[in-house]
Amino acid sequence: MIRERVDRLLARLATESQFPTQGRTLFVDLERQAVREAYTPRSVVEAFLGGRGVNMFYLANLLDPSLHPEHPDIPLVYGSGIATGIIPSASRGNLTSWSPDSRILMDSNAGDYFASFLRLNGIDHLVLYGRAANPTLLFIEGGALTFRDATPYAGMNNVDLRARVAQDFDGRWGGNLAMINIGEAGERGVRVAGVMTGPKSLHARGGTGAKMGSLNLKAIVIRGITKLEYAHPESVPPKNRDIARQFMSTGVGKILHERGTPFLYKPSRQLWAMGTKNNQETVWVPDLDSENFDRFRPSMTGCFRCPVNCRPMNDITSVYPSDPELAALVAHVDALGYDGKRYLTGDGPEYVTVGKFGPNMGVKKPEHVIYLNNICNDLGLDTAGTGGNLSWAFELYQRGLLTAKETGGLRLEWGDLRVIAELLFLTAKREGFGRAIAAGSRAVDEGFYPPGSEKYRMAVKRTMQSDPHDARILKAFALGLAVATRGFDHLRNRVTLEINARINDDPAYKARLYGGPVSGKPNSYEGKELAVKVCEEVYAVGDAVGMCRFTTKLFNSPSLPGYGEFREQIRNATGLDLSEEHLTAIGANIRGIERMINATLGVTRKDDTVPDRWFEEPIKGGPYTGERVDRVQFDAMLTRFYDLCKLNAEGVPTVDWREELNRIVFGYNVTFPGLLPNPRTGRSR
Amino acid sequence: MTEEVPTVGHLLDRLAATYPQLARAMESEDSLVNVAINEEMFLEGIRGLPLKSGDRVELIQAFSGG
């Protein structure tokens, strides 16, 4: 079935490059070990640009909603941004499919080196399908892809795999080698497993690792890069220098360079918006403020040609074995059959991991969070999804909905480091109570938890929250999390500047920033739909460019590169002259096609919401004591968002726009007088 | 501070007079400075926030997301 779809799609694709720097799209049949190639048509690039946007074009054409996400006929699509590997800090790529966990759109953006290496091998997209007969590794060199037997790597986790691959392929990470890969968790279909792109970076959210594992694909390795031929080669380097200077001179650029993302912990804590113990509480200890990680951060590192270098390396050997809890934890990991000392050094953590394995799990010390972070990196576990599912289980245990009988004797008590670590290993192996964590959104359906447990699952569209910020106070955050197309997620549209008092106290400036009035009161509902819309569009374009979110305009600073800089450098590199208005429309198109894909998978308006806890339980202290989300006002804000974004009452593009998108994506459009029943649910829409 | 500053606005003005560089940084378009009083961060109406003797005021980065 997938092959027929690929045949039909290939007939509509271009056979030659459409513009300077454009790379090929490779259709990789893992079952038959066959590769076909084509180029994305210019009309599609003009509608969706590249990376995440063009991935949606491929997924929409190849998705068969009558199957299931792990079916090998459901493709896994990788895409580098149109300027990935060209603009400094544009080192990102997206991994897209139908999520094994949320069962809606899966789309995950990550950096490190792989996305840039792919593009600098003349390949923009990989469409992977079919289940390989044996564990398989794809090797790319000089733009050519070959199939390798990955049986020797089967069952290996990240630390060992990276060492072994570097040796076998005679290369060096951060030099001439790049890789995406899964660990044993992905091989076993764990729904909180990610696809690693480095020692720490991974494609998180939605179970990307489980999807890659379903194709029996262990890794894709690239050795070496080539030089791209730009449309205006003399203009690219000076503009790149301008862009780098621009983001390095902002406050956010400077602190990222110094400490990385953990600096985000303190503002959320001081606002009483730090998700704690599965969001039962919203404030936690100052011990996890980023300055307390300083002594465990020997150096910083970064993604391909990015001057920000925001990734902290870690080393906690200075407190081992003097910290008795850490010593006991290492001994416990040893007793489980692993090398406990291996996790005393590593890469990270990011703020998300600090939040998910700190306050969310009742853990108080930086060195303990770092140790758990290092285990997750080795096992290839997404710390957001894993942390969210762990805290859900711990709250169920706290409430007596789970007992030691169901957990295999484990006492799920907040802050118990040994239990948390043991559960990580059990989850990756899908053993014991780890099977419940590995089940992700289906833990109730599969009988691990009693009916009614969903009430305590902090999820939207079956997806655990991506970041630790509790959004009962900031209503723009709540709306953004509700409408994000891949589930409960802040990176699609977060109006981060809502947390900036100077901007909130300057209504005229704020109106200029978003193109209309947005209330300066962070807990107000007024105008927030406009801010979410504007952020969602520029972030979607940033992803399609390949730019890091932290160096994209409006994400924590109004002074970062945005449409203007993207436009100029896209023109310099590719020759495509896309106006700023055109780029804005591309951002909207990406939202539109993603919502159309989700509608096919059964998503409707009722799914654009936040957990009941945020409607029902007020914040218990701090400057916004008593704050919660009001259902009526939230619903009205959602309606305004739909209207502003040209979405109908169910949150999909209006008929005229849908017809337009259909023609671009599918090459034709058929309009019915009413909406047809959803093909998956049979329900009318 | 050893002199009375009844509001955050008064405090910021006093700081600006003493540290002009800080004032410039806080007034720039890229200013990302918020105020926390006694470990609680405020997001609006900053200058009018009342202060009393013994309050601990922090200027902290106004960031979110991640």
pLDDT per residue as tens digits for the range A602-625: 999 999 999 999 999 999 999 999
- pLDDT of A681 over the 80 cut: no
Helix (H) or strand (E) holding A443: none
Residues of B within 8 A of A249 (CB-CB) are: 30
Of A163-167, A181-185, A384-388, A502-506, the range with the lowest mean pLDDT is A502-506
Q: Which of A475, A499, A512 to mutate to test the interface with B (most CBs of B within 10 A)?
A: A499
Q: A196, A110 in Cβ contact below 8 A?
A: no
Residue given tokens 């307390």 in the structure block: A292
- Across the interface, do B44 and A505 touch by the CB < 8 Å criterion? yes
Residues of A within 8 A of B59 (CB-CB) are: none
CA closest to A384 among chain B residues: B66
- Reading the block at residue A354, the tokens are 């600090």
State pLDDT tens for residues A262-301.
999 999 999 999 999 999 999 999 999 999 999 999 999 9
Task: Check CB contact of B40 with chain A, cutoff 8 Å.
Answer: yes
Name the minimum distance, in Å, from the CA of B18 to any CA of chain A. 21
State pLDDT tens for residues B25-66.
777 777 778 999 999 999 999 999 999 999 999 988 888 876
Q: A198, A112 in Cβ contact below 8 A?
A: yes
Q: What is the pLDDT of residue A668?
A: 85
- Across the interface, do A271 and B33 touch by the CB < 8 Å criterion? no
Q: Taking Cα atoms as reference points, which of A247, A43, A230, A241 lies closest to residue A119?
A: A230
CA closest to B64 among chain A residues: A496
Distance of CA A393 to the CA centre of its chain: 23
Q: What is the pLDDT of residue A685?
A: 47
Task: Count Cα neighbours of A638 within 13 Å in the Cβ-side half-sphere.
Answer: 25
DSSP three-state, residue A573: helix
Name the minimum distance, in Å, from the CA of A314 to any CA of chain B. 19
- pLDDT of A675 over the 80 cut: no
Task: Check CB contact of B61 with chain A, cutoff 8 Å.
Answer: yes
Name the minimum distance, in Å, from the CA of B53 to any CA of chain A. 19
- pLDDT of A671 over the 80 cut: no
State pLDDT tens for residues A146-164.
999 999 999 999 999 999 9
Q: Which residue in A286, A350, A501 is closest to B34 by CB distance?
A: A501
Name the minimum distance, in Å, from the CA of A310 to any CA of chain B. 12
Name the minimum distance, in Å, from the CA of B14 to any CA of chain A. 18
Residues of B within 8 A of A519 (CB-CB) are: none
Query: Mean pLDDT, to the nearest integer, of A302-307?
Result: 96
Q: Which residue in A270, A351, A352 is closest to B39 by CB distance?
A: A270
- Across the interface, do A255 and B66 touch by the CB < 8 Å criterion? no
Residues of A within 8 A of B46 (CB-CB) are: 501-502, 505
**What does the alpha-carbon distance between residue A332 and residue A4 come to, in Å, rounded to a whole number?**
52
- Across the interface, do A521 and B60 touch by the CB < 8 Å criterion? no
**What does the alpha-carbon distance between residue A35 and residue A171 come to, in Å, rounded to a whole number?**
25
Q: Taking Cα atoms as reference points, which of A67, A63, A123 lies closest to residue A96?
A: A63
- pLDDT of A517 over the 70 cut: yes
The ipTM value here is: 0.94
Instruction: Name every residue whose Cβ is closer than 8 Å to that of residue A175 and which is 6 or more positions away in sequence.
Output: none
CA closest to B43 among chain A residues: A501
**What does the alpha-carbon distance between residue A486 and residue A206 come to, in Å, rounded to a whole number?**
8
DSSP three-state, residue A220: strand
CA closest to A274 among chain B residues: B64
Query: Mean pLDDT, to the nearest integer, of A543-552?
Result: 97
Residues of B within 8 A of A499 (CB-CB) are: 34, 43, 62-64
**What does the alpha-carbon distance between residue A72 and residue A213 come to, in Å, rounded to a whole number?**
10
- Across the interface, do A266 and B35 touch by the CB < 8 Å criterion? no
State pLDDT tens for residues A217-264.
999 999 999 999 999 999 999 999 999 999 999 888 888 998 899 999
State pLDDT tens for residues A58-67.
999 999 999 9
Residue given tokens 């480091």 in the structure block: A417
CA closest to A355 among chain B residues: B66
- pLDDT of A537 over the 60 cut: yes
pTM of the complete model = 0.97
Predicted confidence band of residue A683 (pLDDT cuts 50, 70, 90): low
Q: Which residue in B39, B45, B64 is closest to A264 by CB distance?
A: B64
- Write the burial class of residue A526 (CB in 10 Å: 0-12 exposed, 13-18 middle, 19+ buried): middle
> In chain A, what percentage of residues exceed pLDDT 70?
98
- Across the interface, do B66 and A351 touch by the CB < 8 Å criterion? yes
The pairing of strands A123-129 and A136-141 is unpaired
Task: Count Cα neighbours of A673 within 13 Å in the Cβ-side half-sphere.
Answer: 0
- Reading the block at residue A449, the tokens are 């938890």
State pLDDT tens for residues A620-644.
999 999 999 999 999 999 999 999 9
- Across the interface, do B66 and A352 touch by the CB < 8 Å criterion? yes
**What does the alpha-carbon distance between residue A559 and residue A553 come to, in Å, rounded to a whole number?**
6
- pLDDT of A670 over the 90 cut: no
Q: Which of B27, B44, B55, B57 to mutate to test the interface with A (most CBs of A within 10 A)?
A: B44
Q: What is the pLDDT of residue A680?
A: 60
- Across the interface, do A267 and B34 touch by the CB < 8 Å criterion? yes
Residues of B within 8 A of A500 (CB-CB) are: 31-32, 34, 43, 62
Q: What is the pLDDT of residue A682?
A: 58
State pLDDT tens for residues A424-451.
999 999 999 999 999 999 999 999 999 9
Q: Mean pLDDT over all residues of chain A?
A: 96
CA closest to B45 among chain A residues: A505
Instruction: Name every residue whose Cβ is closer than 8 Å to that of residue A265 and which is 6 or more positions away in sequence.
Output: A274, A288, A289, A290, A351, A354, A355, A358, A468
Q: Which residue in B32, B39, B45 is closest to A505 by CB distance?
A: B45
Task: Count Cα neighbours of A329 within 13 Å in the Cβ-side half-sphere.
Answer: 31
- pLDDT of A325 over the 60 cut: yes
> In chain A, what percentage of residues exceed pLDDT 90?
95
- Reading the block at residue A527, the tokens are 């105008």
Query: Mean pLDDT, to the nearest integer, of A460-486?
Result: 97
Q: Which residue in A271, A469, A520 is closest to B41 by CB distance?
A: A271
Residues of B within 8 A of A272 (CB-CB) are: 40
Residues of B within 8 A of A501 (CB-CB) are: 34-35, 42-44, 46, 62
Residues of B within 8 A of A556 (CB-CB) are: 32, 63-65
DSSP three-state, residue A11: coil
DSSP three-state, residue A177: strand
Q: Residue length, chain A?
A: 685
Task: Check CB contact of B1 with chain A, cutoff 8 Å.
Answer: no
- Higher pLDDT pick, A79 / A669: A79
**What does the alpha-carbon distance between residue A187 and residue A204 come to, in Å, rounded to a whole number?**
16
Name the minimum distance, in Å, from the CA of A438 to any CA of chain B. 24
- pLDDT of A421 over the 90 cut: yes
Interface of chain A toward chain B, CB-CB under 8 angstroms? 249-252, 255, 261, 263-264, 266-268, 270-272, 286, 350-352, 467, 469, 474, 477, 490-491, 494, 496, 498-502, 504-505, 520-522, 549, 555-559, 622-623
- Across the interface, do B64 and A270 touch by the CB < 8 Å criterion? no
- pLDDT of A676 over the 90 cut: no
Residues of A within 8 A of B34 (CB-CB) are: 267, 499-501
Angle subtended at Cα A445 by Cα A439 and Cα A447, rounded to the nearest 5 degrees: 80
A348: left (phi over 0), alpha (psi -120 to 50) or beta: left
Query: Mean pLDDT, to the nearest integer, of B6-18?
Result: 92
Residues of A within 8 A of B32 (CB-CB) are: 251-252, 500, 556-557
